[in-house]
């Protein structure tokens, strides 16, 4: 089935991307392949001064390669990288003034904490008399002053990370790159370190790029998030926009949870598409050619679940589907519904799409007073057919995956 | 009182080797040491040692032996160090090929290899002929019977014992450490001396200890390459036993040689322990 996208409403609204004028780091048309395998293909990426940005994507999406290209640890096949107006393409890594906090930190095992931190200063030939004070200041910044003489092998994961950050910051880099900096830490420590590091980078006005596969981490530390997939940036926006209006079906799937319904556009009038799905017809603000196969997405907190047959407010979509799972999550509860087979569109487009999962309805409810299903007025049982309602304005539509 | 049973049954697996070593190595060694203090019936006597150290000829040989061993170790190190990196970086077939090239010559006897070198070094040998042909020299230079030839051929024979310990360390080297150094502003030279060299030092020490202790006690190679012209300690030992029939001198020199080799091995393992002490 031919899928033709005319202009999806979702992508035209947003893009907080800076113009190339106010970019501090500018990656333009960069490409990298290993043999026949293209890792990054003609990628553009612009970061403002003082911005904290995350490259978010699954493993193998090219995010680490992009980081290594910016750091100068691998050479690009083509394209340019400018930092503060300086062209970096042919500048070797050690002359770029771009620091990296490596995954697992790559501390020098033969040096103690203070010599690790002093390494960059010595490498830059700073006068020996100025080094102890700078090292002491950097260690104070990460609250590691008491560990200056420790061998790094005796430090815990969190302490090693602090040393790695101090070592990277003490040379006052123009740009800080962090490759999965929190992945080696346990969950509690990770959250503490994220808040701490963000505050530290902010206070220094540092421009930093985090590479991560963890969406919570990206949301916690960044001003803007670039969702990467297969060597391309799918969507680059602030966390709120990224969540509310993901530019692509991949970004929708990768960041946060959502309802996902396969459908076919029946007709499209005045930028409102009418889409037939396995559990009913829904409307969305989008321009698609009739007959296009699409995926409908809705964020879970936008959906409300009501007893079947309850009237639909104007400007709302409503479908009927059985409740399959109720997952209590403490402050919230997730209600899952499955679009029934045998409905008109279900058989033709509902199967074999995306990552193999079928259609799915997901509603997130805050567990406030009044119970889990306060709006519905009564407790629901799994298997019960319910009405699932959400505003047309919150209906996201993407061309069906052609993976 | 019964001793608590703390010895693991596995230790018994080492028993055959222990018995073998005790009978064929430890026992003769003790006899050798005893004999070095036995001067024609009077025991103990340090006459063998005083006789050795009183003779300037012997001291000259001692110094030459140590010097040749040091130069051999140095040459082997210079050749082995880059090789170890190539070997560690190589993959699959190429790596097997290099390993084979290193290990296969061990299967060829030392005597065969040394004869090969002596043929190359002869005044009408391949080296001289080549040098003459390209006009670098006008008449054959003496290569055979020189210390240079000895060092070159010894370094060749012992090379694998230098490459393999360094390779073992280089292979363990975290590839991100040089990268981290580069992103911190370290150029290649700074990175080598502050990161690569210190981290590969254990391999260098181990390899040097191997090669030095073998080079200081080598017998076949100097016998064939330099002959009686400039002796080494091991040749002097053979001479003492076989020609001079002076068992006390022979066993004294043997003990001195043993002392040198043992102190190098112990010294290097002490250094290695010290180096790894702060790491974990």
Closest alpha carbon within chain A to B190: A123
Going by pLDDT thresholds of 50, 70 and 90, the confidence category of residue A11 is very low
A125-134, A209-218, B35-44: range with lowest mean pLDDT: B35-44
Distance separating alpha carbons of residues A5 and A250, to the nearest angstrom:
16
Is ipTM > 0.90 here?
no
**Residue contacts between A and B (CB atoms, under 8 Å):** 80
- Is any Cβ of chain B less than 8 angstroms from the Cβ of A115? no
Ranges of beta strands (E only) in A230-313 are 232-237, 259-269, 272-277, 280-285, 287-288, 293-298, 304-307
pLDDT at A348: 37
Q: Which two tokens stand for residue B110?
A: 């030392």
The three-state secondary structure class of A316 is strand
Give strand pairing partners of A236.
Answer: A226
Neighbours of A154 (CB within 10 A): 14
Domains of chain A: 5-248 (3.40.50.300), 251-399 (2.40.50.100)
Nearest to B186 among A71, A123, A177 (CB): A123
pLDDT at A270: 82
Beta-carbon contacts of A18 under 8 Å, excluding residues fewer than 6 positions away, are A46, A48
Beta strand A52-56 with A224-229: parallel, antiparallel or unpaired?
parallel
Closest alpha carbon within chain B to A150: B278
List pLDDT tens digits, range A371-386: 544 444 446 677 788 8
Query: Which class for A190: exposed (0-12), middle (13-18), buried (19 or more C-beta within 10 A)?
Result: buried
Instruction: Tell how many helices (H) and how many strands (E) occur in chain A.
Output: 10, 22
Beta carbons of A151 and B190 less than 8 Å apart: no
Beta-carbon contacts of B158 under 8 Å, excluding residues fewer than 6 positions away, are B72, B76, B210, B211, B214, B215
A195-204, A312-321, A345-354: range with lowest mean pLDDT: A345-354
> Yes or no: is domain B56-277 CATH 1.10.3720.10?
yes
Going by pLDDT thresholds of 50, 70 and 90, the confidence category of residue A7 is very low
Residue A122: list chain B partners with CB under 8 A. 190, 194
pLDDT at B139: 84
Query: Which class for B98: exposed (0-12), middle (13-18), buried (19 or more C-beta within 10 A)?
Result: middle
pLDDT at A123: 95
Going by pLDDT thresholds of 50, 70 and 90, the confidence category of residue A64 is very high
Say yes or no to pLDDT of A8 above 80. no
* CA dist list (Å): A64 to A69, A72, B44, B123: 9, 12, 73, 61
Burial A132-151 (b: 16+ CB within 10 A, else e): eebbeebbebbebeebbebb
Closest alpha carbon within chain A to B176: A106
A352 contacts A1 by C-beta, under 8 angstroms:
no
Closest alpha carbon within chain A to B191: A123
pLDDT at A343: 39
Side-chain-facing half-sphere of A85: CA atoms under 13 Å: 2
Distance separating alpha carbons of residues A46 and A378, to the nearest angstrom:
51
Give strand pairing partners of A151.
Answer: A112
The three-state secondary structure class of A344 is coil
List pLDDT tens digits, range A335-371: 888 875 533 333 333 344 433 456 888 888 887 755 5
H/E run at residue A363: strand A361-366
Sheet holding A52-56, edge to edge: A98-101, A175-179, A208-212, A52-56, A224-229, A232-237
Residue B191: list chain A partners with CB under 8 A. 94, 123
Q: Which two tokens stand for residue A240?
A: 């709120």
Where exactly are the structural domains of chain B? Answer: 56-277
| Cα-based angle B30, B31, B37 (whole degrees, multiple of 5) | 95
User: In B104-196, which residue ranges form alpha helices assigned H by DSSP?
Assistant: 110-121, 126-133, 147-172, 176-183, 188-191
- Is any Cβ of chain B less than 8 angstroms from the Cβ of A71? yes
Q: Which two tokens stand for residue A276?
A: 């037939």
Give this prediction's pTM. 0.81
Query: Which class for B275: exposed (0-12), middle (13-18), buried (19 or more C-beta within 10 A)?
Result: middle
pLDDT at A178: 96
pLDDT at A229: 92
Q: What is the mean pLDDT of each run of 10 residues along chain B (280 residues)?
A: 63 90 92 86 82 91 94 97 94 92 88 89 86 86 87 94 95 94 96 95 95 94 86 90 87 92 91 69
A51 contacts A224 by C-beta, under 8 angstroms:
yes
pLDDT at B280: 39
- Of B179, B181, B185, which to mutate for an interface test with A (greatest number of A Cβ within 10 Å)? B185
- Is any Cβ of chain B less than 8 angstroms from the Cβ of A94? yes
Beta-carbon contacts of B176 under 8 Å, excluding residues fewer than 6 positions away, are A102, A104, A106
Ranges of beta strands (E only) in A164-249 are 175-179, 208-212, 224-229, 232-237
| Mean pLDDT value of segment A279-283 | 86
Residue A184: list chain B partners with CB under 8 A. none
């Amino acid at each position: 089935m031919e899928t033709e996208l005319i202009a999806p409403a979702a992508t035209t609204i947003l893009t907080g991307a800076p113009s190339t004028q106010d970019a501090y780091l500018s990656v333009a048309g960069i490409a990298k392949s290993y043999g026949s395998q293209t890792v990054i293909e003609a990628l553009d990426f612009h970061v403002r001064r003082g911005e904290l940005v995350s490259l978010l994507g699954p493993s193998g999406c090219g995010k680490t390669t992009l980081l290594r290209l910016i750091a100068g640890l691998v050479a690009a096949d083509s394209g340019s990288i400018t930092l503060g107006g300086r062209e970096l393409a042919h500048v070797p890594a050690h002359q770029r003034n771009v620091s990296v906090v490596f995954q697992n930190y790559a501390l020098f095992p033969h040096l103690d904490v203070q010599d690790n931190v002093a390494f960059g200063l010595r490498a830059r030939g700073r006068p020996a008399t100025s080094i102890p004070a700078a090292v002491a200041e950097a260690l104070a910044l990460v609250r590691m002053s008491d560990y200056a003489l420790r061998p790094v092998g005796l430090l815990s994961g969190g302490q090693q990370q602090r040393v790695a950050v101090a070592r990277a910051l003490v040379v006052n880099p123009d740009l800080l790159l962090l490759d999965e900096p929190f992945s080696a830490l346990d969950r509690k420590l990770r959250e503490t370190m994220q808040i701490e590091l963000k505050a530290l980078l902010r206070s220094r006005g540092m421009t930093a790029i985090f590479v991560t596969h963890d969406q919570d981490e990206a949301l916690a530390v960044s001003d803007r998030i670039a969702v990467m997939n297969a060597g391309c940036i799918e969507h680059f926006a602030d966390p709120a926009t990224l969540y509310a209006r993901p530019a692509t079906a991949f970004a929708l799937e990768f960041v946060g949870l959502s309802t996902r319904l396969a459908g076919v556009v029946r007709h499209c009038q005045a930028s409102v598409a009418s889409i037939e799905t396995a559990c009913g017809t829904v409307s969305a603000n989008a321009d698609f050619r009739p007959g296009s196969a699409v995926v409908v997405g809705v964020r879970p907190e936008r959906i409300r679940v009501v007893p079947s047959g309850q009237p639909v407010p104007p400007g709302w979509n409503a479908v009927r589907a059985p409740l399959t799972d109720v997952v209590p999550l403490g402050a919230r509860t997730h209600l899952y519904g499955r679009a029934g087979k045998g409905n008109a569109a279900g058989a033709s487009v509902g199967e074999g799409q995306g990552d193999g999962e079928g259609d799915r309805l997901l509603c997130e409810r805050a567990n406030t007073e009044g119970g889990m299903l306060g709006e519905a007025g009564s407790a629901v049982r799994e298997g019960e057919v319910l009405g699932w309602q959400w505003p047309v304005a919150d209906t996201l539509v993407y061309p069906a995956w052609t993976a | 009182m019964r001793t608590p049973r703390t010895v693991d049954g596995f230790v018994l697996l080492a028993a055959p080797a222990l018995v073998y070593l005790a009978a064929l190595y430890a026992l003769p060694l003790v006899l050798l040491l005893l004999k070095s203090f036995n001067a024609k019936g009077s025991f103990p006597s340090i006459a063998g040692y005083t006789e050795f150290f009183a003779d300037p000829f012997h001291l000259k040989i001692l110094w030459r032996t140590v010097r040749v061993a040091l130069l051999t170790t140095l040459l082997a190190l210079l050749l082995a160090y880059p090789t170890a990196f190539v070997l560690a970086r190589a993959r699959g077939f190429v790596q097997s090929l290099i390993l084979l090239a290193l290990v296969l010559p061990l299967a060829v006897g030392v005597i065969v290899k040394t004869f090969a070198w002596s043929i190359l070094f002869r005044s009408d040998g391949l080296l001289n002929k080549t040098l003459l042909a390209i006009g670098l020299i006008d008449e054959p230079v003496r290569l055979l019977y020189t210390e240079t030839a000895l060092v070159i051929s010894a370094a060749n024979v012992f090379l694998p014992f230098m490459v393999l310990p360094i390779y073992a360390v280089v292979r363990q080297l975290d590839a991100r450490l040089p990268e981290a150094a580069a992103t911190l502003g370290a150029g290649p030279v700074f990175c080598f001396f502050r990161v690569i060299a210190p981290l590969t030092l254990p391999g260098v020490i181990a390899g040097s200890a191997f090669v030095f202790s073998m080079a200081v006690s080598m017998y076949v190679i100097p016998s064939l390459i330099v002959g009686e012209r400039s002796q080494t300690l091991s040749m002097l030992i053979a001479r003492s036993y076989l020609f001079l029939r002076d068992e006390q001198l022979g066993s004294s020199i043997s003990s001195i040689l043993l002392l040198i080799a043992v102190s190098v091995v112990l010294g290097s393992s002490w250094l290695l322990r010290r180096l790894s002490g702060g790491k974990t």
